[in-house]
Every structure is written in C-alpha cells, then in structure tokens.
A = this chain, B = another copy of it.
Amino acid sequence: MSKRKKLRSDIAWSDASKIVVRGHNLVELIGTTSLGDFAFLELTNRLPTPEESTVFDAIVVVLVEHGLTPSAIASRMTYLGSPEALQAAVAAGLLGIGDRFGGPSEEVAKMLQNAMTGGGEDINAMAADIVAGKRNAGRPVPGLGHPIHRPTDPRTKRLFEVAADNGFSGRYVSLMNAVSEEASRAFGRALPVNATGAIGAIASELGFEWRVCRGLAVIARSIGLVAHILEEDREPLAPEIWSRVDEEATEHMRSETTDERD
C-alpha cells in the first residue's frame, strides 16, 4: 500500500457550535467585517488595516464591471440555455477571464515582482531591463496604453492617488511609472500606465503574490456577471444576438445553395 501524505488545510473548520475562518470565530465577524475585509482575510490570513482595506477595495471595485464584454455575453448566452443553473452562467462568464482579460494585471505584478526580487536598487535600470526584454521578445509591455481610454486611462490617476493617500505608493508604483516612461521613449509614443498596470503595481504594494491578481479579477467579475444575468432575466439580449449572428454568418451558404438550385 502507498505511503500516505497527511491532508492539511489551514483555512476553516467547524463543529456543532462554532465556525472558525482563518483563526476568527465567524460569528464575531458577522456585522463587523465588510465583504472586502473578509476577502482580504481569506487571501492573506489576517484582517486588513483601515488603509489596506481602502486600497484593496479600490483595486477590486475597478475590476467588477466593464459593460457588455465577451464574458458578459457568454454568461447571457449560457443563461438562455440553462436557466435552471445561474451558477453555470456565472461560471461560463468567468471562464473568459483568462490570459487576455484576467491575465494582464497578473502579468504586470509578475513582471514587477520578478524585477524587484532580482535585487537591484535602481528603479530606472530595472525599468530599462523590463522594456528591453519585452522589446527583444517582440511582445508588448503589459499595463500600458489603452484602446479606448485615450490619451490616459481615467482610473489610473485615481488609483494611484488612493494608494498614495494610504501609504501604498512605494517602489512598485515607482517602477511601474518608470516602465511607462522608458517604454514611451523606446517605442516613440505615449504609453501611459492603464488601470491594469496600476492594479498590478498596487497589488504588489499590498504584498500580494502576482498569482492573486487573476483571482481578484475573477472575484470582482463574478459580481458583475450576476448583475448581467439578472438583467438578462428581465430583458433578454441573448435570443436577439443569437438570431442575428446565425443569420448573418451563414447567409453565404444559403445563397450558394439557392444558386445551385437555379
């Protein structure tokens, strides 16, 4: 028989009279702890300071709602087919929060954290290394520029203000700004920090491992997707999108067939 490794989790336990989450009696948290603070506790194993609480809520709030995204459309389409399972419609939407939409803030945080653990002291030198590395690999620098929000992303300034007001504008924020300056110079066009870049930098200031960033996007988006599904339940878009897409995309095959019949 195989040697067994003891199973062990340190998150929560309960018995007949007690529920303990991250070392806290759940009952004592009810009514005193906000949803954001509870999320911070779950992710870090301790409750946040008031400053951490404000900054954490700020970055997660930005990720909740981005309008009729591919993810929201996928949720609405799924709800049309499986009205019995709202959880499936939310899950379908979350499945699109990957490399393209949930990944970038993760990528920013990883880029900044790797640079920082590289042990250098000079922020500008790190920024130059980062930009050169991406440029040589023919890849864009994550966290810069935006297809719609031009010339600057209105969220960035506010996120950096909130971080600074609460003591979280340190080396990661400096490095992100230095990367923006360096990239603008290297690529010869304005590449300001976007919301994703700000979130990746601020999450790093809060001490979150880069991997957490995709998780924050997933948590936040689950809220937005529930809102979209509830709206879909009252005023459906999915049937109309379905019929328009199907009609237009298959039109050429119908007419070819008609021609053949002539």
Contact = CB atoms under 8 A, between A and B. Distances in A.
A66 interface: yes
Nearest to A82: B98
A150 interface: yes
Contact of A101 (B53, B81, B86, B235): B81
A136 interface: no
Interface in A206-262: 209, 211-212, 214-220, 222-224, 226-231, 233, 235, 237-238, 240-250, 252-254, 257
Ranked nearest first, the 10 interchain pairs of A and B with the lowest CB-CB distance are A82-B98, A81-B96, A31-B162, A35-B36, A215-B226, A13-B250, A91-B91, A70-B77, A85-B85, A74-B77
A88 interface: yes
A218 to B, nearest CB: 5
18 contacts: A10-B231, A11-B231, A19-B149, A21-B65, A30-B162, A39-B64, A68-B242, A70-B78, A70-B238, A74-B92, A80-B96, A82-B85, A83-B98, A84-B99, A86-B218, A87-B218, A216-B226, A241-B245
A145 interface: no
B250 A12 contact: yes
Interface residues of A, number: 124
Contacts of A49: none
Contacts of A139: none
Q: How many copies does the complex hold?
A: 4
Interface string A17-35: 1111110001101110111
A12 to B, nearest CB: 4
A95 interface: yes
A143 to B, nearest CB: 17
A161 B66 CA distance: 36
A117 interface: no
A57 interface: yes
A61 B73 contact: no
